[in-house]
């Protein structure tokens, strides 16, 4: 349930409503909207009578949220949530790039990737140390050794880190080295893992499941949000369809749809979304135009010899060119957003 205050409601009236809600044993989320203050009720409000609030001074209306993903929903929190990754803001209207290899292969490789990523304008370094591979015989990642390398490389170049955590037992270890915890597509509905990472307080990069619907994805975010500690960053990485010409079908309509339904930021992953390196720059451009808050992209100094996902990785030249193109579109998007003002 949310309580919408009148436009001219006083601070005292807002305080009275909050006190009344707390008396019911519930917590609140206060959203300072542009026109109305919206007070969200946190907890089980199923038995609650909205008339209890409608009679208080300064209250315009109360609305029951019918969505199962209440805390994640835009109704509960009308303003955008800006995720602060140790000083790098995601969801504030800027476009943040995360770049790096699919897998961390060694210190020299991840340092070279960090140098490239930074030179193109990326602020966050990606790279997997725990890799979800289809074949048990494929390279599974350098694990803690890899985590140490990516942290060292990111620190050297003044970058933040995003890396995947696959297992509840590794959360503390990954959180020690990483600024964002990535939940991979294969784990979008690993509910125990979602609840556990939600307790860390670190931002969670939540990939869309391989055949995850929008509703399932939003509900997955709710498992994190209900822990009331970690913000979510949605990552659209394509879904499996009957099409086999691309690795996945990159669903860009998810970006404006998630932004309509949720207050959390959304970024795009044109690398896994297409699986083909020369489709990555056009889809990155389209990602900017769709209104995404950023992107995550795979790069490698020598894609032909990458230990994983070489075919979808950009080399330095193609990455730098893509970033120049993305910059042009980011500026154009600023002009488009200014039309709203
Ligand atoms: C990755 O980011 O390298 C990865 C494994 O992605 P996804 O979970 O989207 O397949
Ligand atoms: Mn990959």
Convert the pLDDT of each residue in 282-303 to its tens digit: 999 999 999 999 999 999 999 9
| pLDDT tier at 38, thresholds 50, 70, 90 | very high
> Ligand 2 being an ion, which residues bring their Cβ within 5 A of it?
102, 309
| pLDDT tier at 149, thresholds 50, 70, 90 | very high
Rounded mean pLDDT of 36-56?
85
- The pTM for the full model equals 0.95
| pLDDT tier at 165, thresholds 50, 70, 90 | very high
Angstrom CA distances, 60 to 12, 24, 73, 227, 282, stand at 15, 20, 20, 30, 46
Helix (H, G, I), strand (E, B) or coil at 18: helix
Q: Which atom of ligand 1 is nearest to the CA of 182?
A: 2
Per-residue pLDDT at 208 exceeds 80: yes
CA of 312 to the centre of ligand 2 (A): 8
Average pLDDT, the chain: 96
Both tokens of 305, joined, read: 């010899």
Angstrom CA distances, 204 to 197, 270, 284, 319, stand at 7, 19, 21, 25
Helix (H, G, I), strand (E, B) or coil at 215: helix
Rounded mean pLDDT of 183-206?
98
Per-residue pLDDT at 51 exceeds 90: no
Rounded mean pLDDT of 204-219?
98
Query: What is the residue with the minimal CA distance to atom 3 of ligand 1?
Result: 102
pLDDT over 90, % of the chain: 92
Rounded mean pLDDT of 80-88?
97
Per-residue pLDDT at 46 exceeds 80: no
Give residue 32's pLDDT.
85
CA of 29 to the centre of ligand 1 (A): 33
The C-alpha atoms of residue 318 and residue 59 are separated, in whole angstroms, by 55
Rounded mean pLDDT of 153-182?
98
Ligand at minimal distance from the CA of 133 is: 1
Per-residue pLDDT at 50 exceeds 80: no
CB count in 10 Å sphere of residue 40: 23
Per-residue pLDDT at 144 exceeds 80: yes
How far, in whole angstroms, is CA 267 from its chain's centroid?
6
Q: Which atom of ligand 1 is nearest to the CA of 296?
A: 2
Q: Which atom of ligand 1 is nearest to the CA of 128?
A: 3
Rounded mean pLDDT of 89-103?
98
| pLDDT tier at 128, thresholds 50, 70, 90 | very high
Give residue 261's pLDDT.
98
Ligand at minimal distance from the CA of 163 is: 1
Give residue 293's pLDDT.
98
Q: Which residue has the tokens 């307080």?
A: 201
Angstrom CA distances, 270 to 42, 236, 250, 320, 331, stand at 36, 8, 7, 15, 20
Pairing mode of beta strands 2-5, 37-42: antiparallel
């Amino acid at each position: 349930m949310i309580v919408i205050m009148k436009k001219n409601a006083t601070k005292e009236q807002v305080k009275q409503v909050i006190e009344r809600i707390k008396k019911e044993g519930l917590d609140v989320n206060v959203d300072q909207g542009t026109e109305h203050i919206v007070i969200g009720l946190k907890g089980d409000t199923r038995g609650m009578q909205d008339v209890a609030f409608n009679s208080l001074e300064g209250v315009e209306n109360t609305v029951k949220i019918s969505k199962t993903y209440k805390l994640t929903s835009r109704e509960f929190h009308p303003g955008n949530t800006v995720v602060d990754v140790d000083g790098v803001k995601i969801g504030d209207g800027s476009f943040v790039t995360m770049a790096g290899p699919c897998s961390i292969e060694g210190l020299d490789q991840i340092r070279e990737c960090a140098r490239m990523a930074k030179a193109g304008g990326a602020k966050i370094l990606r790279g997997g140390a725990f890799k979800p591979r289809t074949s048990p015989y494929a390279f599974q990642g350098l694990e803690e050794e890899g985590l140490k390398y990516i942290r060292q490389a990111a620190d050297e170049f003044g970058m933040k880190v995003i890396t995947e955590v696959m297992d509840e037992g590794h959360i503390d270890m990954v959180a020690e080295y990483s600024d964002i915890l990535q939940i991979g597509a294969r784990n979008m509905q690993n509910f125990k893992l979602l609840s556990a990472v939600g307790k860390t307080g670190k931002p969670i990069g939540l990939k869309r499941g391989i055949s995850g619907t929008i509703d399932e994805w939003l509900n997955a975010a709710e498992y994190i949000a209900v822990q009331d500690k970690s913000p979510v960053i949605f990552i659209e990485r394509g879904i499996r369809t009957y099409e086999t010409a691309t690795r996945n079908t990159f669903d860009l309509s998810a970006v404006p749809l998630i932004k309509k339904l949720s207050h959390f930021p959304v970024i795009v992953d044109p690398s896994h979304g297409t699986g083909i390196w020369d489709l990555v720059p056009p889809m990155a451009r389209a990602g900017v135009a769709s209104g995404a808050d950023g992107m995550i992209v795979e790069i490698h100094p020598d894609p032909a010899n990458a230990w994983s996902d070489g075919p979808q990785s950009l080399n330095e030249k193609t990455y730098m060119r893509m970033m120049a193109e993305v910059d042009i579109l980011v500026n154009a998007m600023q002009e488009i957003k200014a039309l709203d003002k």
